Structure 1
Amino acid sequence: MTVPIRRTFRFVDWTLRPDHDTDAPPLTYAFRCLALNADDTECAARSSPSNDPTEPQTWAFTHLREHPGHTSYAELIERPWVMWEGGPT
């Protein structure tokens, strides 16, 4: 004879929010070159990630001086997020 298994479920609301806690990883910024090389491959050169958004912007100007045709960039922002447990529904 099989015994039925009893289960209890607890439903919880979860919220996803930016992590502003003191121990959260920092926000980081970087730029990536979107220009195409002569062989139609993407340059894809990248700045180093930085907590200061102006450092990658400075890199973009330096990259443009070294490669005058490279005028298109993407900004890469890494923002930490955290799941926050609400209460029972």
Structure 2
Amino acid sequence: MSTPARGTFRFVNWTLRPDRDDDAPPVTYAFRCLTLTGNDTECEARSEPSTDPTEPQTWAFGHLREHPEHTSYAEVIERPWVMWREGPA
């Protein structure tokens, strides 16, 4: 019969925070069209992500010009977060 391995456990506190480090990915913004089509599905049109929040807004106005009945949009923001170890619990 073997003896179970013995070990030491170290508990630490973790915090989830926005990643603002110099090497963090940038915050990006996009818009997607929420307007329902004839078969009750969303339009699925979407702007390209941009670090400038006004670029997707400009896309939304262009999409509206092409499709005057498409008046509902959602902003999609991607913000990097990181887990940060703070030390012993």
Instruction: Using structure 1 for the length normalisation, give the TM-score.
Output: 0.95
RMSD value over aligned CA atoms? Answer: 0.9
Q: For each residue in 1:34-84, what CA deviation from the matched residue of structure 2 results, as whole angstroms up to 9, or x when unmatched?
A: 001122221010000000000000000000010001000000000000010
1:51 aligns with 2:40: no
Question: What residue number does 1:34 align with?
Answer: 34
CA distance in 2, matches of 1:30, 1:5: 52
Amino acid at match of 2:67: H
Q: Which runs of 4+ in 1 moved over 4 A?
A: none
Q: How many residues align?
A: 89
Identity of aligned residues (%): 76
Instruction: Using structure 2 for the length normalisation, give the TM-score.
Output: 0.95
Question: What residue number does 2:5 align with?
Answer: 5
Question: What residue number does 1:69 align with?
Answer: 69
Structure 2's unaligned 5+ residue stretches are: none
